[in-house]
Every structure is written in structure tokens, then in C-alpha cells.
């Protein structure tokens, strides 16, 4: 067991306060601190005493990963653990399925698109299921809202420019309705889109005092318009669930689910992939046809992740995330049959002879024996396969 040095990502949407404050560092920071990576992603592997974790695993994959993980995933760490801190919305995006990722990666290779090219969609051949667990109040747009609620939203806005699209929304054919409306909106000319957004914004501004879920959606729409005026993501927000999570709550995202994190601090775990199809709310490459190709046009209503004795239950084979409050009186014996990464997010935790403060993480190879976390008391997340 050894301490990991994470890789800090300074994306423009990142917060200058959330990660520094968690780590007890001066805030605001000089630049946005969006993500802190703990893992062995080729684009940003964590290090141990200056050595990349990818290199350490490659030297002895049997000891690092163990037979079960190697049999299923080969000689690579299958998950990536992150701290994520958003001060502004992330891009409107979705991730491909495993089959779509393999096909897309091979196709772009055949087209001769360099892996580091700005117009590259598929950076690897893997899918990217992910789980986000809130450490602060966390806002996000997650999945298409049930159609009956979207019709209720349209009625509340009473916007003639919006109402003309109601004919697309067939309550008896939800999937085709969502596909039809979303693809219509992303393909209308820029001028027509701007006029529609202007009308929606005007209508939204008069409906902010309702005090219900519709008010929350409209506040989000106005904030997006201010940050990304005229962007398709402003219209997309009319169709998505607006979610407010509180510390400890988690949401799982599978392939094809349209989403955008809006603001807040959380722990994120995902398959070790970087495949993202973007549709708006970003200055990065946007490929709307490819995004539509991978999207699942079905609504989501049950968004929360069930937690059983600290374990967040998801169908993803690449990762499992567990969170426990530990102390001298309430220790946690970490018994593992594969690789693990443990990260402290509050208080202090004693583990493997090391004192972990918030934002500290350790690498636990498969060959290590069980270890007990305790100490003065703190919160510990454990990522395993």
C-alpha cells in the first residue's frame, strides 16, 4: 500500500474553491480545479514517488491486479476514481455502449484521425459507465424527463413558439417523441433556434416564483442561457431531469443517457475510458449526429442509486464504490481480492501506517493483505473492481 499523487485537471468549468477547501489549501486557487484523478488512465496516470501507476502495474500485473481482474479486464486497471468540482455546467454529453465504442474506435482509426486530434470522438474502445456521489449539494441534468412532465412544463410556460412543437409529443409513443423533438431542435437553423430560445427565456422569466420543480428547471434554463447564449443545451435542458443531490446521494449513468453536471463537489468513479460524445454547452468538439446515434431516447424517473451497508449498487462490472465513516471505535477492515484505491474525503483516517487527510488517496495492489482503516475519525471512499 502506497500513497498516490493525483492528477489535477484545470478545465474551464472547474471551481477555484471546492477542491482546495476540501484539501485544506488556500482558496480561491489561481486557476479552476475541475477534477483530481486517481487511477491509471493513459492520459493522466497517478504517480507513486514520481512513477506513473500505469508503469507500476505493467511491471507486475499479477501482483497489482490479481487473477480475477486480469481474467476479466486484461492487464489494466478497469476503473478511474475522481474528485469532481463544477462551478459551471459541464458539456451536454453521453457515452457509448461497449459495442458502439469498439466500432467507433475502429472507424476513426481507419479514417486516420489521430488519437489526440480535437475532432476525435473515440479515444479508446471501451464504454464509460459512471457513478457520481455528492459531497456537497450537487446539481445535474440527468436523462430525459418522463414525457407527461415535459408536457406539464410546456403548459406552464404558455409559450406559443414552444407550443408549436407539442404535436411531436405523442404521449403513447414516448421514445419516438423524444427522438423527434430533440433531433428537430438540434437541426433547426441557428436563427430559428435563437428565436425559440429567446421566447422560452421570456416565458421562463415570468414563471420563477412557482416554488415547484418547474421553477428549478426554469432557473437552470436561464443560467445556461446566460453562460451559453443560444446553445442547443438551453433547449435540451427543457427535456432533462433537473436533479439536486445531497451529500451521500449517488446517481449512476449508463450508456446513451444524456446528461450534464451543473455545479457542486462529488466523488466520481467510472470505467477507465475517455469516450465522450458532446452536443452542446462546451467550447470543445461537438458531433451532434454521432451523439444522436448513441443516445437512448427513453425517460428516466428512478434516478437514485441504492446503498447497501455503504456500497453503491450499480450494474457496472468495472467498478464498485463503497463509503464508510471510520474511527478508532468504528474501524473498517478492507479485505479485497483485486486492486483498490482508498480516498479520504473528510476528517483523518489511519490506513496502512499512513495518515490520510481529505483529498489523500492510497493504492492497494491485489497482493496486499487486508488492512484496517481507523484513527481519529473520517470519511473514506473505497474503489474496487
Whether residue 259 is annotated as binding a ligand: the answer is: yes
Q: Is residue 254 part of a domain?
A: yes
Whether 205 is in a domain gets the answer: yes
Domain final residue, candidates 186, 208, 239: 239
User: Within this chain, do residues 45 and 192 fall inside the same structural domain, yes or no?
Assistant: no
Q: Which of 76, 120, 193, 278 is catalytic?
A: 278
Q: Tens digits of per-residue pLDDT, 69-85?
A: 999 999 999 999 999 99
- For residue 41, the domain's CATH number is 2.60.120.10
Residue 210 has pLDDT above 90, yes or no: no
Is 278 known to be catalytic? yes
93 is in an annotated binding site: yes
Enter the pTM of the model. 0.94
Whether 337 and 374 map to the same domain: the answer is: yes
Whether residues 258 and 177 fall in one domain: no
Residue 264 included in any domain: yes
Closest CA to 156 of 215, 201, 219: 215
Total of domains in the chain: 3
Q: Is residue 313 part of a domain?
A: no
Q: Are 248 and 133 in contact (CB under 8 A)?
A: yes
Residue 369 within any structural domain of the chain: yes
- Tell whether 197 and 269 lie within a shared domain: no
Per-residue pLDDT band for 274 (boundaries 50, 70, 90) equals confident
The DSSP code sequence of 52-111 is: EHHHHHHH-HHHHHHHHHHHHH-SS--EEEEEEEESSPPPEEE---HHHHHHHHHHHHHT
257 annotated as ligand-binding = no
Instruction: Give yes or no for residue 157 having a pLDDT over 90.
Output: yes
pLDDT at 208: 85
**Residue 127 is labelled as binding a ligand:** no
- Same-domain status, 331 and 229: no
Domain shared by 9 and 77, yes or no: yes
Same domain membership, residue 163 and residue 115: no
- What residues make up the domain containing 114? 2-141+245-308
Residues 191, 215 within the same domain: yes
Q: Is the pLDDT of residue 109 over 90?
A: yes
- The reported pLDDT for the residue numbered 132 is 98
Q: Are residues 137 and 283 in the same domain?
A: yes
Amino acid at each position: 500500500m502506497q500513497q498516490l499523487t493525483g492528477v489535477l485537471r484545470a478545465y474551464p468549468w472547474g471551481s477555484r474553491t471546492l477542491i482546495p477547501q476540501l484539501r485544506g489549501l488556500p482558496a480561491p486557487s489561481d486557476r479552476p480545479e475541475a477534477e483530481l484523478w486517481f487511477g491509471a488512465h493513459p492520459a493522466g496516470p497517478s504517480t507513486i514517488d514520481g512513477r506513473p501507476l500505469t508503469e507500476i502495474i505493467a511491471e507486475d500485473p499479477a501482483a497489482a491486479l490479481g487473477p480475477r481482474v486480469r481474467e476479466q479486464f486484461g492487464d489494466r486497471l478497469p476503473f478511474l476514481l475522481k474528485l469532481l468540482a463544477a462551478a459551471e455546467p459541464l458539456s451536454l454529453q453521453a457515452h457509448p455502449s461497449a459495442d458502439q465504442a469498439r466500432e467507433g474506435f475502429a472507424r476513426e482509426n481507419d479514417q486516420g484521425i489521430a488519437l489526440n486530434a480535437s475532432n476525435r470522438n473515440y479515444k479508446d474502445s471501451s464504454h464509460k459507465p459512471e457513478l457520481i456521489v455528492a459531497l456537497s449539494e450537487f446539481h445535474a441534468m440527468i436523462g430525459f424527463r418522463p414525457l407527461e412532465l415535459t408536457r406539464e412544463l410546456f403548459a406552464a410556460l404558455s409559450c406559443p413558439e414552444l407550443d408549436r412543437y407539442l404535436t411531436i409529443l405523442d404521449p403513447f409513443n414516448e421514445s419516438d417523441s423524444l427522438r423527434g423533438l430533440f433531433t428537430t431542435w438540434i437541426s433547426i437553423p441557428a436563427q430559428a433556434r435563437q428565436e425559440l430560445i429567446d421566447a422560452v427565456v421570456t416565458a421562463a422569466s415570468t414563471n420563477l416564483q412557482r416554488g415547484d420543480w418547474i421553477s428549478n428547471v426554469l432557473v437552470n434554463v436561464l443560467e445556461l442561457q446566460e453562460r451559453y447564449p443560444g446553445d442547443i443545451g438551453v433547449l435540451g435542458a427543457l427535456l432533462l431531469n433537473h436533479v439536486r443531490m445531497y451529500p451521500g446521494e449517488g446517481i449512476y449513468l449508463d450508456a446513451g443517457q444524456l446528461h450534464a453536471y451543473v455545479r457542486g463537489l462529488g466523488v466520481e468513479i467510472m470505467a477507465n475510458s475517455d469516450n465522450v460524445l458532446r452536443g452542446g454547452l462546451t467550447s470543445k468538439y461537438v458531433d451532434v449526429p454521432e451523439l444522436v446515434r448513441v443516445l437512448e431516447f427513453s425517460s428516466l424517473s428512478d434516478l437514485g442509486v441504492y446503498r447497501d451497508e455503504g456500497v453503491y449498487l450499480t450494474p457496472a462490472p468495472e467498478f464498485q464504490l463503497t463509503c464508510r465513516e471510520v474511527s478508532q471505535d468504528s474501524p473498517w477492515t478492507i479485505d479485497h481480492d483485486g486492486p483498490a484505491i482508498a480516498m479520504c474525503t473528510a476528517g483523518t483516517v489511519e490506513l496502512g501506517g499512513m495518515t490520510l487527510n481529505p483529498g489523500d488517496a492510497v493504492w492497494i495492489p491485489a497482493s496486499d493483505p487486508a488492512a484496517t482503516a481507523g484513527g481519529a475519525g473520517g470519511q473514506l471512499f473505497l474503489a474496487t473492481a
